[in-house]
């Protein structure tokens, strides 16, 4: 079981390094810690949702400091060092010795094979989780869908309380729907991205985090920020 967990962690790391934008993020954070907006600007990503997706993929390789800024973890620095070593070997155009050139080619082949294995492992894990989910839910074609809403952006979290469904998106928008028919009771922009994994509804108030370091308290009745 421990070996399976370690293999899964390695597969997640290789998957995280398999996108050029994520490597740019690691390089940017290697220079200095950056807040969400500054990182978005430096890497050149227009969508906050896309950046948050890449940050989620880099979980374990990056972390936030006491000011809410992103920085590399020790594991992230080691991963970036591997990437830089591979890039340095690939960009070397002066063949000092034929044996050294062959060695570099072999290293690149090994890394390519490891990346391929990691992608296959990730696909197998995803397929296994999907099968488990299907076995828990049963046949989706037989499910009775009462209502559904398309928010056109990834959902960060949702919860149900007092006959209402509270949903917050990665773009930082909080929605309140009627639990029975899905009608929008109110919506409120939290002023920035959110990676919140919890919404608390207590005593007529809704508590949710946004922009990495902001805690919001809203009225459960009309969504006004208190």
Closest CA to 70 of 80, 59, 79: 59
Residue 149: inside a domain: no
Residue whose pair of structure tokens reads 């056109």 in the numeric block: 152
Residue 105: inside a domain: yes
Distance CA 197, CA 173 (A): 14
Mean pLDDT across 4-8: 56
User: Do 17 and 56 reside in the same domain of the chain?
Assistant: yes
User: Do 167 and 133 reside in the same domain of the chain?
Assistant: no
User: Do 120 and 187 reside in the same domain of the chain?
Assistant: no
Confidence of residue 149 (pLDDT cuts 50, 70, 90): confident
Helix (H, G, I), strand (E, B) or coil at 159: strand
Q: Which domain holds residue 45?
A: 2-137
Confidence of residue 203 (pLDDT cuts 50, 70, 90): very high
User: Do 128 and 169 reside in the same domain of the chain?
Assistant: no
Where residue 179 sits, what CATH number does that domain have? 2.40.10.480
Alpha-carbon Rg for the chain in angstroms? 22
pTM metric for this prediction: 0.40
Average pLDDT along the chain: 78
Domain count, the chain: 2
Residue 145: inside a domain: no
User: Do 206 and 115 reside in the same domain of the chain?
Assistant: no
Query: For position 93, what pLDDT does the model report?
Result: 53
* Backbone dihedral angles phi then psi of residue 119, each to the nearest 5 degrees: -65, -40
């Amino acid at each position: 079981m421990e070996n399976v967990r370690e293999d899964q962690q390695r597969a997640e790391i290789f998957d995280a390094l398999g996108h050029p934008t994520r490597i740019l993020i690691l390089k940017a954070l290697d220079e200095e810690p950056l807040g969400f907006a500054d990182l978005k600007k430096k890497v050149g990503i227009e969508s906050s949702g896309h950046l948050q997706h890449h940050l989620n993929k880099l979980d374990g390789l990056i972390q936030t400091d006491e000011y809410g800024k992103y920085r590399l973890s020790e594991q992230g620095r080691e991963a970036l060092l591997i990437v830089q070593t591979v890039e340095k070997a690939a960009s070397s155009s002066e063949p000092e010795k034929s044996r050294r050139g062959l060695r570099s080619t072999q290293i690149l082949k090994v890394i390519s094979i490891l990346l391929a294995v990691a992608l296959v492992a990730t696909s197998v894990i995803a397929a296994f989780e999907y099968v488990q989910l299907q076995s828990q839910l049963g046949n989706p074609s037989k499910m009775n869908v009462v209502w559904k809403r398309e928010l056109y952006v990834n959902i960060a979290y949702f919860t149900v309380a007092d006959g209402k469904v509270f949903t917050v998106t990665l773009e930082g928008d909080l929605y309140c729907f009627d639990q029975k028919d899905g009608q929008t009771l109110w919506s409120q922009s939290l002023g920035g991205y959110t990676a919140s994994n919890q919404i608390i509804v207590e005593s007529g108030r809704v508590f949710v985090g946004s922009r990495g370091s902001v805690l919001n308290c809203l009225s459960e009745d009309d969504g006004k920020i208190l």
